[in-house]
Amino acid sequence: MSAKTLKVASGILIIFFGFLYSPSWAVTQIGGSITTNTTLGPNGAQPDNVYWVTSHLIVESGVILTIEPGVALKFDGGTSLQLRNNSTLIAIGNPTQRIAFTSLRDDEFGGDTNGDGNGSMPQPGDWGKVWGSYGILTGIQIGALGVNVRMSDCVVRYSNTGMCVMVSDDPQHPHNDVQLEMTNCEFSYNRGFPVEVPVYSIPAVMNPTNSYHDNLWEAIGLCWGTLTNDLTIPKGKTYVLATLCYVEVLNATLTIEPGVVFKGMDRSVIIMRNYLSPGSAPFSKLIAIGTESEPIVFTSFLDDTYGGDTNGDGSATTPPAMPDITGFEWSGIVADHEAIEIDLEHCIIRYSEGSGVHAQSNINPTISLSNSTVEFCKQFPVVVPMNSVEEAVSESNT
Ligand SMILES: [Ca+2]
Ligand SMILES: [Ca+2]
């Protein structure tokens, strides 16, 4: 085995390369900070198709990391790819040359990199790191601000949460504004969500060319995110509001298709806001019009009744019959400001630790609730202003 250490430009990216174990695959070891624009692949400064990530690979602010078609990044246990604020990841493969982000022990991409034949098999959770103030364990970590990610024909597998967009570390201004484009990507065998993204990235991750399978939490995870452009959420996957996630709708319309199932983790909410003066347009609207055969469901992450066993533990956990703040259930749908409209029809709302639908005091949103069921909430099922009482308590609701 031969190996040597190189420095790339002025950066501190350390690359070792040599022919390790398998004569058929060259393997380049990488890790550390990338401080200048870098290409990994046959046309890069260290041409190769297989990169063994031996420590956290960190794309620093302002830097572009390009990964070429057919390249495999194989991560040692506990390592990750971290995209700092204002960095860019371009990983555009093609159907015959996919780009893999996987475990060192995964011989299916890039051959027998660890040189033990079938002596070790990849497992969900093989790679990834705890990152961010909420302690999210994830493989590809996308910084909160100004990060641009373009992925096509990629495979992300055997990590914890495969890819996660972070929330700003400032608790007073949690915020993110990533640009995510994703097509023909596969997330599989991850021990957590395949992806956890802000609400505004749902069109990217739900592009029908992407696929998700055999992940422990087989759902689209949602982290804190502010929706400022109109969006329709399609059915097809369960959506889980992760711990402390605010799906915040701000001067926009959020429409939910019939048949969509949301599940909430501890203290997560769907919150409707409008920072303009009372009564002024544009409104914030939540439109959830289900049908009798395809209701729209908002419930607990622990509730397997709708959307199946999303938390991957069979029937080992169930939501408490009457959630308590110490039980860390989700916190319902909240109207936080004036000039807000909430239309709920054929909806099922369950297991909120507060109310199912709640208008903050001294505001006057328009809330319409019909043919719906609100059940197992800790507080009043609905707390609405006087102008909405007739709708909310009509006989069509239970
Ligand atoms: Ca092997
Ligand atoms: Ca379960």
Separation of CA 59 and ligand 1 centre (Å):
28
Separation of CA 51 and ligand 1 centre (Å):
15
| pLDDT given at position 13 | 52
Tokens 């380049």 -> residue? 28
Q: Which of 374, 373, 369 is nearest to 389 (CA)?
A: 369
Strand partners, 286: 254, 342
The set of residues, in sequence order, having a beta carbon less than 8 Å from that of 319 and lying 6+ positions away, is 299, 300, 302, 303, 329, 350, 351, 376
Every domain of the chain and the residues it spans: 1-217, 224-398
Mean pLDDT of 104-131: 94
Considering every ligand atom shown, identify the ligand nearest to the alpha carbon of residue 112 and give its number: 1
Mean pLDDT of 75-97: 97
Angle ∠(115,121,125) on CA atoms, nearest 5: 115
Which helix (H) or strand (E) segment holds residue 297: the answer is: strand 296-300
Considering every ligand atom shown, identify the ligand nearest to the alpha carbon of residue 300 and give its number: 2
- The answer to whether 360 touches 332, Cβ cutoff 8 Å, is no
Q: Which tokens sit at 76?
A: 């040692």
Burial 182-191 (b: 16+ CB within 10 A, else e): bebbbbbbbb
Separation of CA 141 and ligand 1 centre (Å):
26
Separation of CA 315 and ligand 1 centre (Å):
35
Tokens 């019009």 -> residue? 289
Separation of CA 265 and ligand 2 centre (Å):
13
The span from the CA of 111 to the CA of 114, in Å, is: 9
| pLDDT given at position 43 | 96
Higher pLDDT pick, 377 / 98: 98
Considering every ligand atom shown, identify the ligand nearest to the alpha carbon of residue 21 and give its number: 1
Strands 333-335 and 269-273: parallel
Separation of CA 305 and ligand 1 centre (Å):
40
| pLDDT given at position 23 | 38
| pLDDT given at position 6 | 35
At 299-343, the pLDDT tens digits run 999 999 999 999 999 999 988 766 555 567 899 999 998 889 999
Mean pLDDT of 45-69: 97
Confirm whether pTM is higher than 0.85: yes
The span from the CA of 278 to the CA of 310, in Å, is: 40
Separation of CA 301 and ligand 2 centre (Å):
8
The span from the CA of 286 to the CA of 281, in Å, is: 15
Separation of CA 162 and ligand 2 centre (Å):
20
The span from the CA of 330 to the CA of 352, in Å, is: 5
Which amino acid appears at position 272 of this protein?
M
| pLDDT given at position 204 | 98
Handedness of CA 207, 211, 213, 216 (dihedral sign): negative
- The answer to whether 269 touches 333, Cβ cutoff 8 Å, is yes
| pLDDT given at position 383 | 87
pLDDT band per the 50, 70, 90 thresholds, residue 140: very high
Q: Which of 320, 319, 375 is nearest to 347 (CA)?
A: 375
pLDDT band per the 50, 70, 90 thresholds, residue 278: low
Ligand 2 is an ion; residues with CB less than 5 A from it: 304, 309, 311, 313
